[in-house]
Amino acid sequence: MAKRISNIAIAGAGRMGRGIAVSFAWAGYPVALVDSEQRAPEAFAELAATTHAELLAECHLLAAAGIVPPAVADEIAARVDVVARVESSECLQAAEVVFEAVAEVLEIKQSTYAWLSEAVSETAILASTTSTMLADTLAGFVTHAERFTNAHWLNPAYLMPLVEISPAGVTRPDVVAELRALLEAVGKVPVECRTSPGYIVSRMQALVLNEAARLVEEGVASAEDIDRAMRTGFGTTIHGVRPSRVHRLGWRRYPVLRIQLPGGHHRRGQVYSTRYCPAQYGGRPQRHAGRVWVSMTGERVIWTRIARSA
């Protein structure tokens, strides 16, 4: 039986870090939300005030939606302690699970894990929340990599039930079991997948976004009607479909990957996905209407850029 975990810390006080903090605080856990950056005292005081205000606002959104009473919303926010990095040694040493939620930049991840590897207990579980990097890559930055895994939360973390656990090759099975039990204890629905680009949901989502962009480009329907169809038709239909039944929908299997194109085009707010290059294009590498056709390892794939609306 997995042991009961009670001490939670989160490194990184951005949107994801705050969302995870609310998730655990909502379930009754005290949470240390640690600022991952070195700041002057005045700068941290400003960050802490802003973070507390945002946490309180997010908790009161739950109250406004009738999910929790207003008084409970205040209690949830009060369970989150925003901690300066310079003052974080005690809470990080006490934490049994530490979630890393810093920016999706490899150099920042590497420096963060150099710090956390020294700061956390040797028995602590260290879990990244990355949505773009592989656990095997990040495990190389961690001292006790056997206690490291990825736990991909969806935004907003306190509302979305799913968490995708993607262990590294060196991750011990009992670490995954402990993390799974913890997530279930706070009402989440953990699933496990091999370390692979996009995990489960992002790969499926990229395929859908790719097809939505093609529908607009080909003039099949307006973006507004596609949104409406997805909300009222596809979303409710796919909700009840089990994986064993997916083949009945007649879907083809397309590879879906995240890449950084030459020239640094992979920027925040953009998604790159792939599918087999249609035969009518002849597989010739070209750039057309925001799309790039390339050939990799003998497979014809089409790279589609979908930019976030301005």
Q: What is the pLDDT of residues 114-148, one digit of tens each?
A: 999 999 999 999 999 998 899 999 999 999 999 99
- Tokens 């992002």: give the residue: 202
**pLDDT of res. 3:** 62
pLDDT(280) > 60 = no
Instruction: Report, as an integer, the average pLDDT of 85-100.
Output: 97
DSSP result, 194-253: -S-TTTTHHHHHHHHHHHHHHHHHTTSS-HHHHHHHIIIIIHHHHTT--GGGGGGGTPPP
Please indicate whether residue 235 or residue 142 has the higher confidence score (pLDDT): 142
Phi, psi values for residue 298, rounded to 5°: 85, -10
pLDDT(164) > 70 = yes
Which residue ranges form the domains of the chain, and what is each CATH number?
Answer: 8-192 (3.40.50.720), 201-307 (no CATH)
**pLDDT of res. 2:** 53
Overall residue count recorded for the chain in this entry: 310
**pLDDT of res. 240:** 57
Least confident range from 109-113, 152-156, 233-237: namely 233-237
Share of the chain above pLDDT 70, in %: 75
Peptide bond into 41 cis (omega under 30): no
Distance CA 206, CA 288 (A): 19
**pLDDT of res. 220:** 94
Least confident range from 65-79, 233-247, 295-309: namely 295-309
**pLDDT of res. 206:** 83
**pLDDT of res. 98:** 98
Q: What is the pLDDT of residues 36-89, one digit of tens each?
A: 999 999 999 999 999 999 999 999 999 998 888 888 999 999 999 999 999 999
C-alpha neighbours within 13 Å on the C-beta side of residue 35: 21
Q: Would you place residue 195 in the very low, low, confident or very high pLDDT band (cuts 50, 70, 90)?
A: confident
pLDDT(286) > 50 = no
**pLDDT of res. 197:** 81
Which amino acid is it at 135? Answer: A
User: What is the chain's mean pLDDT, rounded?
Assistant: 79
Q: Would you place residue 241 in the very low, low, confident or very high pLDDT band (cuts 50, 70, 90)?
A: low
Please indicate whether residue 153 or residue 288 has the higher confidence score (pLDDT): 153
Please indicate whether residue 5 or residue 276 has the higher confidence score (pLDDT): 5
Q: What is the pTM of this model?
A: 0.75
